[in-house]
Chains A and B, each alone.
Chain A
Amino acid sequence: MPARMGLRGNEAVAYAVKLARVEVVAAYPITPQTIVVEKIDELISKGEMDAEMIHVESEHSALAAAYGAAVGGVRAFTATASHGLAYMYEMLWWTAASRIPLVMAIITRAIGPPWNIHVEHADIMSTRDTGWLISMAENNQEALDLTIIMFRVTEDPRVYLPGIVGLDGFILSHTVEPVEIPDQEAVDAFLPPRRQPYTIEPGDPKAMGNLVPDEYFEELRMDMHRSMLEARRVIMEAGREYGKLTGRDYSGLVECYRCGDADTLIVGMGSWMGDAKVAVDMLREKGLRAGALRLRWVRPFPWEELREAGLGKRLVVVLDRSISFGHAGPLFLEVSSALEARPSMVGVPAGIGGVDISYEDIARIVEEAYGMVEERGRVFIPVYWYHLGRFYRLSPGAAPPEAVARAAPGAGGGGG
């Protein structure tokens, strides 16, 4: 029988790593990731998990060591956040372009200065173009499930790329939620023995990362792109299979909440999409037909799902927990590329650096955007930044920002 426990998000990830029979973990501590590795260390020291833990002197070395182990033929894992991820960045490229399956958890956190240990998606979004698969959990159960699923997807010969499981710092990492831990037998049935394109072993030397003609380099990059596109199908298969074994289906790259008959969609990723669902219910009670579409996967990008979901919609509001300075929120940019039906769109960066955003804030954001559509017919606003109850129109090409700051409908002030 699967056990049901109260677990912090970080502990849920640690249990997933144990269930996946990971043999080497290498990591360097950073808030809010530390508990992941502490918990794994504890499981190893209690004899519940049979793995090597390598304590290294930096995140660059952490991924280098995990990568080395993975190249050697074992399931390997690391976890980091924020500055640690920034320090690790070069090795992300080495791992992905070497086509070596490996799983990493990123506990999303702002990157300083100024110093901030709270949630922001700037760190995980900086991995977007490195060739890693990227998923994002909404809750602790999903953090556990996605970690297990990620091992299977990354080790599929159609993919052979490493993968990231993201979970929001503190909101999930340090918050206890009920989590169902699958049986080892179920996970063993789900995860085949490790597969990878090659191993490097003593007695069979290979040269890695050698200089190649430019044409070959481009061919390697084309194949990474092809494999990433192919990963969509692999994820759907694995998610469906996982559902059969655990009762929790992950066949969708996105999760839709009351999307079908909605004329307004809230799109985003991570923990606050749970609040968005509450906001949807609130808005529907007021007569606004809202729905929430959560991106469970960022890479591969669920382009088809978004294109379909955008058909017949009047308004799509994209919530971003980071900003691409000088343009817009990264999710807004990505989502707008897939909405061929061209509904009204409003991009809303918010909650950056852990600024609290409640379901009431999300409902206010949607009401404000909807009001603009009612007023003007069609709107396309890449950046309508929501900060402490006020909106700041900071789109490229927009009027001077302060002139268009507006209080949210029903906002009690604050920040004014």
Chain B
Amino acid sequence: MSGVEAARRGLVARIDPAGHPLPLSEAAPGSAGRTGFWRTHRPVLEPARCVGCYLCWLYCPEDVIEMAEGAGPRGQAVPVIDYEYCKGCGVCVDVCPTRALKLVEEPIGEG
């Protein structure tokens, strides 16, 4: 974002030097705010069941899953979910062929 200083990263950018706040955001994590707050359920991984197939990574509509290469118990790649932004939609749970991902209810009051 040339010439634009993101004072509140991902939310409202400020221009330089005139300093007008703009209804504009970078294509960056958090362009829509901390959407993790929206979640009622969170996907939780059971690493022993994961086969490192990448389907959750591929299907995640929010692009909040990174694959950690060799981090699984059998040296397989496993998903690491960014709970700051995961909305808890459950698509990853749905596509997981080995049921390594499960939706667990968020504790009330900590959403």
Contacts and interface: CB of A to CB of B under 8 A. Distances in A.
Given A198-B4, A213-B11, A206 B26 contact: yes
Contacts of A210: 11, 23-25, 31-32
Residue of B8, B22, B25 with most partner-chain A CB within 10 A: B22
A207 interface: yes
B23 A220 contact: yes
A213 B34 CA distance: 11
B108 interface: no
A247 interface: no
Contacts of B25: 206-207, 210
A393 interface: no
A160 B32 CA distance: 25
A1 interface: no
Interface stretch (B13-21, B56-64, B70-78, B97-105): B13-21
Contact of B27 (A157, A205, A219): A205
A99 B17 contact: no
A223 interface: yes
Contacts of A198: 1, 3-4, 13, 15, 22, 24
A157 B21 contact: no
Given A98-B22, A212-B12, A220-B23, A157 B32 contact: no
A206 B23 contact: no
A99 B18 CA distance: 12
Nearest to B15: A197
Given A211-B32, A211-B33, A216-B12, A97 B23 contact: yes
B23 A98 contact: yes
A158 B22 contact: no
Nearest to A200: B24
Nearest to A158: B18
Interface in B58-99: none
A128 to B, nearest CB: 21
A185 interface: no
Interface residues of B, number: 22
A204 B1 contact: yes
A255 to B, nearest CB: 30
A220 B11 contact: no
Nearest to A207: B25
Given A158-B18, A198-B4, A207 B24 contact: yes
A205 to B, nearest CB: 4
Contact of A212 (B3, B11, B20, B27): B11
A87 B31 CA distance: 31
Contacts of B1: 198, 204, 206
A227 interface: yes
A219 B21 contact: yes
Contact of A216 (B8, B27, B31): B8
Given A197-B15, A220-B22, A207 B27 contact: yes
B18 A197 contact: yes
A207 B31 contact: yes
Interface string A97-138: 111000000000000000000000000000000000000000
Given A212-B12, A213-B11, A227 B31 contact: no
Given A198-B4, A213-B11, A160 B24 contact: no
Contacts of B27: 205-207
Contact of A197 (B20, B26, B33): B20
Given A206-B25, A210-B32, A216 B11 contact: yes
B22 A204 contact: no
B21 A223 contact: yes
Contacts of B2: 204
Contacts of A212: 11-12, 23, 33
Nearest to A220: B21
A216 B24 contact: no
Interface in A79-105: 97-99
A209 interface: yes
Residue of B8, B12, B17, B21 with most partner-chain A CB within 10 A: B21
A166 B15 CA distance: 30
19 contacts: A97-B23, A98-B24, A99-B22, A197-B15, A197-B18, A198-B4, A198-B13, A198-B15, A198-B22, A198-B24, A206-B26, A207-B25, A210-B11, A210-B23, A212-B11, A212-B33, A219-B21, A223-B20, A227-B20
A-B pairs, top 7 by smallest CB distance, nearest first, are A157-B18, A197-B15, A205-B27, A207-B25, A216-B12, A210-B25, A207-B31
Given A197-B15, A208-B23, 11 more contacts: A197-B4, A198-B13, A205-B27, A206-B1, A207-B25, A210-B24, A211-B33, A212-B11, A213-B11, A219-B12, A227-B20
